Amino acid sequence: MTTQALRLGLAVAGVAFGASVGLAQSPFDWPVHDLERPQPPIVTPGTFSSQETPGKPPSDAIVLFDGTDLSAFKSAKTGGPAPWKVENGYVEVVDKSGYIETKQAFGDIQLHLEFRTPTPPKGTSQERGNSGVYFMGRYEVQVLDCYENQTYPDGQAAALYGQYPPLVNSSRPPGTWQVYDIAFEAPRFDAQGKMVSPARVTVFHNGVLAQHASEYTGPSGHKQRPPYKAHPAKLPLRFQDHSNPVRFRNIWVRELQPRAGEFE
C-alpha cells in the first residue's frame, strides 16, 4: 500500500497512525496472517454522551476536563491558572480573559470535545458562538454557531480556519451539546527546519465527516495564510477566547504513534 493510500485511510480510531506499537507495524514486516505478530493492546471503549450527561472516555484516554476543574490547563497569556468559569459540569469562556492551553504538550492525537453555543443566539456570522481549538497552538479547527447562521465557508464550524470549509454543515441548534471527534497528525520538519509533511486532520462533527485527511497550508490566521515554520514535535492544545460564552465539556485525548516507516 502506498503512503497516499494509507493517508486516505485515516480514521479517528487511529487506523492511519496507530494508537500503539502494534498498530504502527508495517504490513511487510510479517507474513500474512502470522499468529506471532504482536497483538494490538486492549482498550475499553467509552460511552456515548446524551444531552444531559457526558459519555465516559476510553480506558487509555488522557482526560483534560471531566467537569470538575481546569487543573490540566493554564492561561496561555500569563502561564497562571486557567481563568475560565467552571460550573455544572462544563467550562465557559470568560470574555477577554484570554486563551487557555494544556499544561501537557501533544503531537499526534485523537481529540474528543463537546461544545455548546449560547442560547438565545446573539450576533451574526463570526460574532455568534465563536471559539476554536488550536492543535499545537497553531492549527485551528473552528468552533462556531452555524445553525441558520451564514458566514464565510472557511470560517464555519469544523473548518480549518481560513483554509478549508467543512464538507458539510452538520450543526445542531444553539443551546444543544455538539461533538467533535478529531484525529490530528502533526507536521514534520527535517534537520534544516524544512517542512517535509504537513499537519493533517480528520474531523467528525456530530458523527458526520466534516474533514477527511485535510492538510493545513500552514498555521491558521485571520485574513492571512502564514507559511510553516519549524517548531517542536509536541506543543500544547489551545482553546480560544473570542469573547463569546461558549461552553465545553468532556475533553479528552489519546496519543497516537506515527505510521511505521515514516518520519524516522
> Which domain does 175 fall in, by range?
3-255
Q: Which of 36-45, 47-56, 201-210, 243-252 shows the lowest per-residue confidence on average (mean pLDDT)?
A: 36-45
Closest CA relative to residue 125, chosen from 145, 146, 151: 151
Q: Is the pLDDT of residue 7 over 80?
A: no
Residue 169 counted as domain residue: yes
Confidence of residue 257 (pLDDT cuts 50, 70, 90): confident
| Per-residue confidence (pLDDT) for residue 206, from 0 to 100 | 97
Look at 29 and 200; give whichever has higher pLDDT: 200
Q: What is the CA radius of gyration of the chain?
A: 18
CATH number of the CATH domain containing 216? 2.60.120.560
| Per-residue confidence (pLDDT) for residue 27, from 0 to 100 | 77
Residue 262 counted as domain residue: no
| Per-residue confidence (pLDDT) for residue 259, from 0 to 100 | 66
Domain count, the chain: 1
**Residue 76 corresponds to which cell in the numbers above?**
496561555
Using an 8 Å Cβ cutoff, are 250 and 66 in contact?
Answer: yes
Q: Is the pLDDT of residue 232 over 60?
A: yes
Mean pLDDT of the chain: 89
Q: Is the pLDDT of residue 140 over 70?
A: yes
Using an 8 Å Cβ cutoff, are 133 and 104 in contact?
Answer: no
Residue 48 counted as domain residue: yes
| Per-residue confidence (pLDDT) for residue 261, from 0 to 100 | 52
Peptide bond into 120 cis (omega under 30): yes
Using an 8 Å Cβ cutoff, are 216 and 224 in contact?
Answer: no
Confidence of residue 73 (pLDDT cuts 50, 70, 90): very high
| Cα gap 219→63, rounded to integer Å | 26
| Cα gap 28→44, rounded to integer Å | 29
Q: Is the pLDDT of residue 163 over 80?
A: yes
Q: Is the pLDDT of residue 188 over 50?
A: yes
Closest CA relative to residue 213, chosen from 185, 253, 255, 189: 185
Residue 263 counted as domain residue: no
Residue 260 counted as domain residue: no
Using an 8 Å Cβ cutoff, are 89 and 99 in contact?
Answer: no
Judged on CB neighbours under 10 Å (0-12, 13-18, 19+), 133 is buried
Residue 264 counted as domain residue: no
Using an 8 Å Cβ cutoff, are 74 and 103 in contact?
Answer: yes
164 Cβ partners below 8 Å, 6+ apart? 154, 211, 214
> What would the pLDDT profile of 17-34 be if each residue is shown by its tens digit?
454 434 566 778 889 999
Q: Is the pLDDT of residue 45 over 80?
A: yes
Residue 102 counted as domain residue: yes
| Whether the predicted model's global pTM rises above the 0.85 cut | yes
Q: Is the pLDDT of residue 16 over 80?
A: no
Beta bridge partners of 112: 181, 252
Look at 245 and 27; give whichever has higher pLDDT: 245
Residue 247 counted as domain residue: yes
